[in-house]
Structure 1
Amino acid sequence: MASVSVANARKNYGNLEILHGVDIDIQDGEFVILVGPSGCGKSTLLRMIAGLEEISDGRISIGGRVVNNVAPKERDIAMVFQSYALYPHMTVEANMGFSLRLAKAPKEEIKGRVREAAQILGLEHLLDRHPRNLSGGQRQRVAMGRAIVRQPQVFLFDEPLSNLDAKLRVQMRSEIKQLHQRLKTTTIYVTHDQIEAMTMADRIVVMRDGYVEQIGSPLDLYDRPANLFVAGFIGSPGMNFLNGKVSAEGPVEFVAEGGARLPLPAGLPLDRGQEVIYGIRPEHLVINQGGAIADVTLIEPTGAETQISATLGPAQIVATIRDRLALQSGDTIAIRPDLTKVQIFDAKSEQSLKNPLTEVLQPSQRSAS
């Protein structure tokens, strides 16, 4: 096992800069997930750590050793890709032990490591099968087993569950997390799925356009997003956003476009008339216990919860409730936010005005890079 350090890492393709001075420190044994929309640079960064992409500037260290110019096979890492990349003519056992055979490891050692990995992953009864006789989840386990037998310092996962159906993805998420808890090997995992990130990671690195937007634990990012992008990206359904201003006179309130008034958290650095964005998650809205009036447009019962879509002036909002209310499209409801959960963002900078207690890339750092 080993720590991984990425210091001021940049990646250029000609005059086009893809990564803009990324800094991440990953502790020994930590499970860190790089998450962000397509094109944000997360897979490029993972491939740079693996040595599959050259680093244009900066430094990458694994276990305290700078690996900028070290070949991938000498970095003591193992990578699991979105594609299983199994040899179709080889059995499961042969696929899992292939890298050890290339390294000319003793036969008994190869057999022992493969059997141990197969036991961890529940593949003992499949060792004699070929990939064509396996399900998608079983093939992904074989790909993971091939990485485990190498006993690397670091596991790298590049969207390994993208090819699986929804039910199997949930199962595999649990299995990968349990695997990490058992092996305690440093793991870096790339996904665009924020649910995967929230349920699996010790810490999440949120990326956008080649920059790190915020680093923190899943609940840190959920409860204290540093900016509008992180607030909108983390959480499903997404956070509701209302454009408006701080009231110019009278009680200090938020006045949304359309005139609806909502309470503001105390102690924020707000000026009268300041343009702000009011953020509140669907599950933090209380229905029909006073508050602003909204018009219901859609009711979506899911069993345990009901999602209510409504309009508040020109804005569309979603509320998630556990109560079973007799509502239908066209009804009016009163909505009241849980004031302790409200997020307020500056309309110009899109930065949070609640000073989140997480690692944040400040605007000054971004402009300097």
Structure 2
Amino acid sequence: MAHVSVNNARKDYGAFKAIKGVSVDIGDGEFVVLVGPSGCGKSTLLRMIAGLEGITSGKIQIGKHIVNELAPKDRDIAMVFQNYALYPHMTVAKNMGFSLRLKRMPRTEIDQRVGNAAKILGLETLLERYPKQLSGGQRQRVAMGRAIVRDPAVFLFDEPLSNLDAKLRVQMRSEIKELHQRLQTTTIYVTHDQIEAMTMADKIVVMKDGLIEQSGSPLELYDRPNNLFVAGFIGSPAMNFIHGSMGEDGFKTADGLLLPSERRPRDAVTYGIRPEHIRLDPGGIEVKTVVVEPTGSETLVIVRLGTQTLTCVFRERIRAAPGDVLKIAPIHDAVHLFAADEQRITSGEAPLE
């Protein structure tokens, strides 16, 4: 295991600046997820740590060593790619042990390491199969096994679940998290899926346009986002945003509707409330139902407030149809307010019920 430190790292492709001075510390044994929209620089940063991309300026340190000039094979890392990158003419066992054979390890040690990794990943009965005989999830396990046998200081995952179907993604998510809990190896994981980030990470690093917008624990980012981008990116369904201004009597929307708020007066602001922090209230604000999506455990309802659309998540089952009028109210302590520059003014901290 090893800590990883990235200090003011930059990556330029000619005039295009892909990474614009990123600094992040990843503790020994920590599971850190780099998350953000396509093109934000998260995969480029991961490839810089791996040594697959050069660094324009700054410093990358793994353990006690600055690795800026080291080849990937000398960085004591193992990477799991999105497309598995398995050799089709090799069996599962040979794929998993290939890097060890390149190092000219004894056959007995290779077999032992491959056997141990296969046991961890449930691949014992598949060792003599070829990649074309495996499912997507099994291929991903083989790719993970190939990384495990190297016993690296750092695991790097580059969107490893994006080629899997939804059900298998959920299963593999749990398996990767359980694997980390068992091995306690420092792990850096890239994804564009914030649900993966929330469920797997010890720490999330949210990136946008080559910069870090915010980093912290999943619930810290969820409960106290620094700005509108993080608030809208973290959480599913996404946070509702209503534009307007604060007055002495509360928040007034662009349509002139008054929403309750206990915050101090402020000029133009954005009012944010997560869907699960809106409740049904006989004395609340009237809204018109647009769409009702029952999921069994909860009901997702899209409503119209003036000219704006809001998403609500109710844990109780409700009988509503498009066009019906509902009365709703936000949980006051869960309201988030953002200034005109999109930075948070204050943030709610409603209890998770």
**Which range, TM-score by smaller chain?**
over 0.9
Please give the root-mean-square deviation of Cα atoms over the aligned residues, in Å: 1.2
- How far did residue 355 of structure 1 move? 6.8
SS of the residue aligned with 1:167? helix
Matched, 1:258 2:255: yes
SS at match of 1:125: helix
Report the alpha carbon displacement of residue 57 of structure 1 after superposing the two structures with TM: 0.6
The residue that corresponds to 2:273 in the other structure is 280
- Residue 262 of structure 1 deviates from its aligned partner by 1.3
Distance 1:158 1:356, change over 3 A: farther
Residue by residue over 1:280-326, the C-alpha shift from the partner in whole angstroms, topping out at 9 and shown as x without a partner, is 00000011332221111111111111111111111110110021222
For residues 262 and 160 of structure 2, the distance between their equivalents in structure 1, rounded to whole angstroms, comes to 41
Tell me the SS of whatever aligns to 2:168.
Answer: helix
SS of the aligned residue for 2:284 comes to strand
Deviations 1:245-303 (A, max 9, x none): 012xxx4300011122112244x5x43xx000000000000113322211111111111
Is 2:41–2:210's contact at 8 Å kept on the other side of the alignment?
Answer: yes
TM-score, length basis structure 2 = 0.97
| Aligned match of 2:207 | 207
Residue number in structure 1 paired with 2:177 = 177
Post-superposition Cα deviations, 1:147-193, rounded to whole Å, max 9, x if no partner, equal 00000000000000011000000000000000000000000000000
Task: Name the residue aligned to 2:64.
Answer: 64
Q: Does 1:106 align with 2:116?
A: no
C-alpha change, 1:87 and 1:8, in structure 2 (3 Å) is: same
Q: Letter of the 2:31 partner, please give it.
A: F
1:308 pairs, out of 294, 301, 308, with 301
Please report how far the alpha carbon of residue 242 of structure 1 lies from its aligned counterpart in structure 2 after TM superposition. 0.2
Partner SS for 1:353: strand
Contact 1:9-1:59 at 8 Å conserved across structures: yes
Quote the Cα distance in structure 2 between the aligned partners of 1:280 and 1:213: 20
Tell me, yes or no, if the aligned pair for 2:334 and 2:348 is still in contact at 8 Å. Answer: no
Letter in 2 for 1:84: Y
Q: Which runs of 5+ in 1 are unaligned?
A: 358-369
How many residues end up aligned between the 2 structures?
A: 349
Q: Is the CA contact (8 Å cut-off) linking 1:60 and 1:67 kept in structure 2?
A: yes
CA positional deviation for 1:356: 9.2
Q: What is the alpha-carbon distance in structure 2 between the residues aligned to residue 349 and residue 68 of structure 1?
A: 36
Q: 1:47 Cα deviation (Å)?
A: 0.1
Aligned to 2:134: 134
Query: 1: distance between equivalents of 2:91 and 2:188?
Result: 28
2:341 maps to amino acid: S
With over 3 angstroms needed to count, the CA separation of the structure-2 counterparts of 1:195 and 1:127, relative to structure 1, is same
Equivalent pair of 2:337/2:347 in contact (CA under 8 Å): no
CA distance in 1: counterparts of 2:337 and 2:324, whole angstroms: 29
Provide the C-alpha distance between the structure 2 equivalents of 1:166 and 1:297, rounded to a whole number of angstroms: 27
Q: In the alignment, is residue 354 of structure 1 matched against residue 330 of structure 2?
A: no
Provide the residue aligned with 1:365 in structure 2: none
Q: Write the distance in 1 (CA, Å) between the matches of 2:16 and 2:46.
A: 19
Cα contact 2:41–2:207 (8 A) shared by 1:
yes
Counterparts of 2:299 and 2:15, CA distance in 1: 50
Which contiguous aligned blocks of 4+ residues in structure 1 show a shift greater than 4 angstroms? none
The Cα of 1:339 is off from its aligned counterpart by 0.8
Q: What amino acid maps onto 2:187 in structure 1?
A: T
Whether 1:216 and 2:213 are equivalent positions in the alignment is: no
| Letter in structure 2 aligned against 1:290 | G
Question: Residues 309 and 319 of structure 1 are in contact (CA less than 8 Å); yes or no, is this contact kept in structure 2?
Answer: yes
TM-score, normalising length: structure 1: 0.93
CA contact (8 A) 1:4 1:62 kept: yes
Quote the residue 1:361 is aligned against: none
Structure 1 counterpart of 2:282? 289
The reply to whether residue 26 of structure 1 matches residue 26 of structure 2 is yes
The change in CA–CA distance for 1:355 and 1:263 in structure 2 (over 3 A counts) is: closer
Give the whole-Å Cα distance in 2 for the aligned partners of 1:335 and 1:323. Answer: 14
Shift of 1:65: 1.0
> Residue 326 in 1 paired to residue 323 in 2?
no
In structure 2, distance between residues paired with 1:16 and 1:309: 40
The yes-or-no answer on 1:12 pairing with 2:40 is no
Q: 1:116 to 1:265 in 2, by over 3 A?
A: farther
* Matched residue, 2:233: 233
Identity score, percent = 63
Q: Distance in 2 between matches of 1:16 and 1:87?
A: 35
Q: Distance in 2 between matches of 1:123 and 1:143?
A: 11
CA–CA distance in 2 between the matches of 1:221 and 1:260? 29
Q: Could you tell me whether the CA contact under 8 Å between 1:260 and 1:292 is conserved in 2? A: no
Instruction: Report the secondary structure of 1:114's partner residue.
Output: helix
Give the secondary structure class of the aligned counterpart of 1:295.
Answer: strand
- Quote the residue 1:362 is aligned against: none
Q: Which amino acid aligns with 1:191?
A: T
Unmatched segments (≥5 aa) in structure 2 = none
Equivalent residue, structure 1, for 2:147: 147
Letter in 2 for 1:276: V
